Structure 1
Amino acid sequence: DIIPNIYEKGEDPFILVLDEVSDVRNFGAISRTAECAGVHAIVIPDKGSAAINSDAVKASAGALYQIPVCRVHNILSAIDLMQESGLQIIAASEKADKDYTEISFKGPLAIVMGSEENGVSHKILKLCNNNARIPILGSIESLNVSVATGILLYEAVKQKKTGN
């Protein structure tokens, strides 16, 4: 119901999908960033995701009261539905061929972020229109999922605002 309502308002849907992000503080921080970036909804699987509890609300600075969180039984089906509704699906992946700055985040969009342990599942990566890599220049292998989410969300915001 959320996506048709967004289109009816004359807006392009901007959805965040979290594939088994399990840390409550990361989930809260991600929710805060998503709300600030204008994300319309967060989609999470009903199993393997962080609890939506007082710690998550606190870490979100109240953003979880503002942004709808949709728990789905099958995240692959949810992504299929988003694609059928005209959304481009972009997943974060360390193994992606393209840096996030080489990808268009314009138009109806869902960004998929993976779990702290395993990243985005291979089944989901195969469904996506694009996979985006955030370059790592130091010796640590990856960014915190909350930080990585912020980078991709605000790349989308930048491109939508500037047209680049």
Structure 2
Amino acid sequence: MKNENQIFGIRAIIEAINSGAVIDKVFLQKDAQGELMKELLKVVKTKNVNFSYVPVEKLNRLTSMNHQGAVATISPIGFHDLDELISTTLESGKTPLFLILDQLSDARNFGAIIRTAECTGVNGIIIQKQGSAPVNGDTVKTSAGAVFNVPICKVDHIKDAVFHLQSCDIKTVAATEKTDHTIYDIDFKTPVAIIMGNEERGVNPSVLKVVDEKAKLPMFGTIESLNVSVACGAFLYEAVRQRLS
């Protein structure tokens, strides 16, 4: 991770957050103590900034500077407002195609998905503020720069985004093995948002309960699942195939 995309030191991070800098994620040292650290944690929670506790070794890998138990990554992009993005997409006259990533954790998977999303004409990607992969140097590199071309929205909860899209007559389709329907049973010609889940646990069960449809990829091998970026590509290109036919 490049130093120009980082802020280190507790006071510096507090000031950056309070000044309105686009902070993608804050890494805090496990078991760190002190009044200043408590103040940082309060600011992070108040401003709803994505954060996680990590071992000091992780922080030392992020920077060789005196980090005081806290390192923040600055997002290389600005994030979009979901309501405005939906409105703009609907007004464009194009059939909306959105992508929701339910707490995807790996930055390289994220970048690969963004690259495919850009190639398939996705109108926007929606992620959750907490628990999502950071938009960092790995994301930018793996996306081949596509991260600068696809609007990305951050929301407090994925379910809120699902409800919002549904209220705008945009169908939500979750990628999950917990269904008898394959992607070839789904009509992707209509306005749709495809939901891809976390690498380990998939789409959150609470999200699965509220989506309009569920779909899986047919599997014929002994391995039970695909890498999430590969699976996402299959879903997106099935949408492209249907819309071209």
TM-score normalised to the size of structure 1? 0.97
Give, in whole Å, the separation in 1 of the partners of 2:175 and 2:89. 24
Question: Using the alignment, how far apart are the partners of 1:85 and 1:4 within structure 2?
Answer: 9
Deviation at 1:48, TM superposition (A): 1.0
- The aligned length equals 162
1:47 to 127, 130, 135: 130
Matched residue of 2:223: which SS? coil
State which of 103, 113, 130 in structure 2 corresponds to 1:20. Answer: 103
Percent of aligned positions with the same letter in both sequences?
49
**How many angstroms apart in 1 are the aligned matches of 2:206 and 2:180?**
17
Q: Distance in 1 between matches of 2:121 and 2:234?
A: 14
Corresponding position of 2:88: 5
Matched, 1:36 2:119: yes
Distance 2:187 2:91 in 1: 23
- 1:66-116 CA distance string (max 9 Å, x none): 001101111111110000011010010012110111111111110000000
TM alignment of 1:88-103, pairs within 5 A: 88-103=171-186
| Aligned mates of 2:182, 2:190 — CA distance in 1 | 19
Q: Matches of 2:175 and 2:104 in 1, distance apart?
A: 13
C-alpha distance in 1 between matches for 2:212 and 2:188: 11
Instruction: State which of 119, 125, 144 in structure 1 corresponds to 2:227.
Output: 144
2:212 matched residue in structure 1: 129
What is the letter of the counterpart of residue 118 of structure 2?
Answer: E
Gap runs ≥5 in structure 1: none
Q: Structure 1 residue 141: deviation in Å?
A: 1.2
Deviation at 1:133, TM superposition (A): 0.9
Matches for 1:53-68 after TM superposition, within 5 Å: 53-68=136-151
Look up the SS of the partner of 1:143 in the other structure: coil
CA distance in 1, matches of 2:179, 2:238: 17
Q: Which amino acid in the other structure matches residue 108 of structure 1? A: P
The residue type paired with residue 137 of structure 1 is F
Bigger relative contact order (CA 8 A; separation at least 6): 1
- Where does residue 164 of structure 2 map in the other structure? 81
CA distance in 2, matches of 1:7, 1:138: 40
Give, in whole Å, the separation in 2 of the partners of 1:10 and 1:118: 36
| Bigger radius of gyration | 2
Q: Give the Å deviation of 1:132.
A: 0.4
Find the aligned partners of 1:34 and 1:146 in 2 and give their Cα distance.
Answer: 10
**Structure 2 unaligned blocks of 5 or more:** 1-83
Match of 1:111 in 2: 194
**4+ residue runs over 6 A deviation:** none
